[in-house]
Structure 1
Amino acid sequence: MVTLTPTQQKFLPYVLAVALFMQILDATILNTSLPQMALALGESPLKMQWAVISYALALAIFIPVSGFLADKYGTRRVFLSAIVVFSVGSLMCAASPTLNILIGSRIIQGLGGAMMTPVARLILVKSYPRNQLLTVMNFAVIPALIAPLVGPVLGGYIVQYASWHWIFLINIPMGLLGFVMGRKLVPALFEDTQRLDWTGFLLFAAAACGFTLAVEFGSQSGRGVYGLLLGAIASILIGAYVWHARRRAAPLFPLG
């Protein structure tokens, strides 16, 4: 357990709340603005769904490795790097002239978000005693729970009264605020690490990717069969990961 200064103890949950809010907001804010974005980019509204799917896939693929990176390189360094990557990805999304570039930029955004959210929770777990953890988690997580409610409404207002670019540009001031506060308040926590379990990472990431696509295709008319097939493949991959983890001394996610 790390010893926090009184300032860190008081304000650290709010720093992490900014990161959680920013990441979750970006997962939902596009939903009501895709038709206007499709019109501006000259694409079919159906194709624009890949701007949402690519972000979700990046989260699913890279979240499993975030804990390893935080343990090896330190929570402070990884958290601040995640904010920078997420903000740069947001800027690239706003500047995207085509759908393909937007999808690539969303993947970069997702990479930052995949490191930002789990590492933020890890910092809280390692920084506070158990008897304070529930209260601290509430401070950090409850503001983030507002994001799914605010996202669609905010996205609709932005495209109606400004332009779709501001859907991504609003992340820049939040990212700057999170970075400045993070430099002062986020502790640098390390853990002893072994080699990254690449086999476990590939199995788990592929399973997470499969489940994410299964949900996406399952919610689309006429693609339910693809959703079921992907869900079945992902279930097999999860089973393969469990088999692998039982036979490895230091798996990516210990089954215990």
Structure 2
Amino acid sequence: MPALQRSLKPTLWLVAVGLFMQMLDSTIVNTALPAMAGSLGESPLRMQSVVISYALTMAVLIPASGWLADRFGTRRVFFAAIMLFTLGSALCAASQTLPQLVAARVVQGCGGAMLLPVGRLTLLRSFPREQLLRAMSFVAVPAMVGPLVGPWLGGIIAEKISWHWIFLINLPVGAIAGAGTWYLLADRREAEPRQFDLFGYFLLAFGMAAISLSLDGLSGLSIERVFVVLLLVFGLASVVAYWIRASRHPAPLFPLAVFHVHTFTVGLLGNLFARLGSGAMPYLLPLTLQLSLGYSPSHAGMMMLAAASASMLTKRLATSVIDHFGYRRVLVVNTLLVGAAMAAFSLVDPAHPVWLHVIFLAVFGAVNSLQFTAMNTLTLKDLDDQYASSGNSMLSMVQMLSMSMGVTVAAAILAGFTRYTGRGGATDPLPAFHSTFICVGLMTAASTWIFWQLSRDAADSGRRASDKRPADAGAVDVH
């Protein structure tokens, strides 16, 4: 970091640690779900709420994080985020039942929701513009390493020690990061915080939560059907009410004028629907590897490294591919490839050699990485400074919401096929997994129609996104 101010190095490292903690816990749990289920006396196929509760809480709270930082200062909010995240981790480790674990993950998600956006905001306000890209690139590295090592580390800990240590390892890191934040982090705040539309936020948050929970109820495992219908109706009504309110409110959470930017509208909707399948795969794959293919937790985590490694390697090529072929062609073709890669897991079988499973995972990781990069840059590349902040926050919210809904939908589909294939007394869930992969792949491929709506001039070079605004470097892919 020779070109960065030495006085700001503590700020840089503290934000990097916070982002690493948040991104690590987005993936570390997936491989350990069967071990958690055995310890808590639950079915491994009923553990989706552990993932959903964390991602959904983050999606709900992200819209408020920027205002909280403006109102109370970045240091106080970032410190509170680390403490909440650490407290939630301790509660997760102490959980004795599934409802207790889900509640603890909500607390953890409350902290995680503020780590990423407030950390990014701290850098934006601390570093001069000419150093901002270098600072953003530095903190992006641990944010990418977290999803890379998360599944493998979760499997190792669950198998060799205990799943409780997945959360306990956060305690010393959180304590050190919290102390460093309080004494070393630069405190930045707005002299006059912007107006916050509290009622509009309530409408949007309730709508997102209600729709996601109603989809979870479709699995028939957690909510009675009558409440499913009520949640879905009230959730949709709440989102529509927010949309109407935002169209006439002087200071909405997200200005609707941002949707006048064609690439932003297509990119955001594409992110929402294409990421349903991508959000489901980190949940489905470790379960398939362990429950149907006979892999141990550590072996399953090691296998997931193939997808993560291919993902990181592809990122180095993504810009060149987009520059050469253009956004429209890349997204239309690659969305179909992502759907096909997901559906291809319906062919996996315990009799196949390990190297074949590795190829399946690597191919999926590569095309999925290209998809994320293309969607993110498309969404933000044409936003001017007036809408850059709100557009970036909306993208972060949609990413987490789509991850939550992806796991929700996949769990509901898997539960339905499990009941169907189990009518004859069959106990192997592999046919149910196969059918679920096909459905998830078709669902992802269907989102191709969204990217097909891109105008021809959206097929230009991706260099505009990297040259136009350094703040875009803060966008982090959520795997």
The question of a shared fold, defined as TM-score above 0.5 by the shorter chain, is answered with yes
- Provide the aligned length of Structure 1 versus Structure 2: 246
The aligned residue for residue 201 of structure 2 is: 201
Answering whether residue 150 of structure 2 is matched by residue 134 of structure 1, we say no
Residues 30 and 167, structure 1, Cα contact 8 Å, conserved in 2: yes
Residues 64 and 204, structure 1, Cα contact 8 Å, conserved in 2: no
What one-letter code is carried by the residue in structure 1 that aligns with 2:250?
A: A
Shift of 1:130: 1.9
Residues 67 and 194, structure 2, Cα contact 8 Å, conserved in 1: no
Judge which range, 85-94 or 237-246, deviates more: 237-246
Output the CA distance in 1 between the equivalents of 2:95 and 2:237: 37
Percent sequence identity is 48
Output the CA distance in 1 between the equivalents of 2:126 and 2:233: 39
Which residues of 2 match residues 142-181 of structure 1 at below 5 A?
Answer: 142-181=141-180
CA deviation map 1:4-38 (0-9, x unaligned): x9443223222101001101111111111110110
Output the CA distance in 1 between the equivalents of 2:214 and 2:22: 22
Residues 6 and 184 of structure 1: CA distance in aligned 2, closer, same or farther (over 3 Å): farther
Residues 213 and 134 of structure 1: CA distance in aligned 2, closer, same or farther (over 3 Å): farther
What one-letter code is carried by the residue in structure 1 that aligns with 2:125?
A: K
Residues 11 and 186, structure 2, Cα contact 8 Å, conserved in 1: no
Answering whether residue 145 of structure 2 is matched by residue 115 of structure 1, we say no
Residues 86 and 174, structure 2, Cα contact 8 Å, conserved in 1: yes
Judge which range, 173-182 or 97-106, deviates more: 173-182
Shift of 1:203: 3.3
The aligned residue for residue 79 of structure 1 is: 78
What one-letter code is carried by the residue in structure 2 that aligns with 1:205?
A: A
Output the CA distance in 2 between the equivalents of 1:145 and 1:236: 37
SS at match of 2:202: helix
The aligned residue for residue 246 of structure 2 is: 245
SS at match of 2:96: coil
Which residues of 2 match residues 177-192 of structure 1 at below 5 A?
Answer: 177-191=176-190, 192=192
Residues 34 and 48, structure 1, Cα contact 8 Å, conserved in 2: yes
RMSD across aligned positions (CA):
2.9
Residues 151 and 134 of structure 1: CA distance in aligned 2, closer, same or farther (over 3 Å): same
Shift of 1:140: 0.8
CA deviation map 1:107-161 (0-9, x unaligned): 0000011122211011111111222111100111121111111111000000111
Question: What 5-or-longer segments of structure 2 have no aligned partner?
Answer: 220-230, 257-386, 388-479
Judge which range, 172-181 or 194-203, deviates more: 194-203
Question: What 5-or-longer segments of structure 1 have no aligned partner?
Answer: 221-229
Which residues of 2 match residues 88-107 of structure 1 at below 5 A?
Answer: 88-107=87-106
Output the CA distance in 1 between the equivalents of 2:215 and 2:138: 30
Output the CA distance in 2 between the equivalents of 1:8 and 1:204: 40
Residues 216 and 171 of structure 1: CA distance in aligned 2, closer, same or farther (over 3 Å): farther
The aligned residue for residue 24 of structure 2 is: 25
Residues 69 and 185 of structure 1: CA distance in aligned 2, closer, same or farther (over 3 Å): same
Residues 60 and 212, structure 1, Cα contact 8 Å, conserved in 2: no
Residues 10 and 185, structure 2, Cα contact 8 Å, conserved in 1: no
Residues 64 and 40 of structure 1: CA distance in aligned 2, closer, same or farther (over 3 Å): same
Answering whether residue 11 of structure 2 is matched by residue 12 of structure 1, we say yes
Structure exhibiting the larger radius of gyration computed from Cα positions: 2
Residues 148 and 246 of structure 1: CA distance in aligned 2, closer, same or farther (over 3 Å): same
Shift of 1:78: 0.7
What one-letter code is carried by the residue in structure 2 that aligns with 1:88?
A: L
SS at match of 2:88: helix
SS at match of 1:249: coil
Judge which range, 194-203 or 175-184, deviates more: 194-203
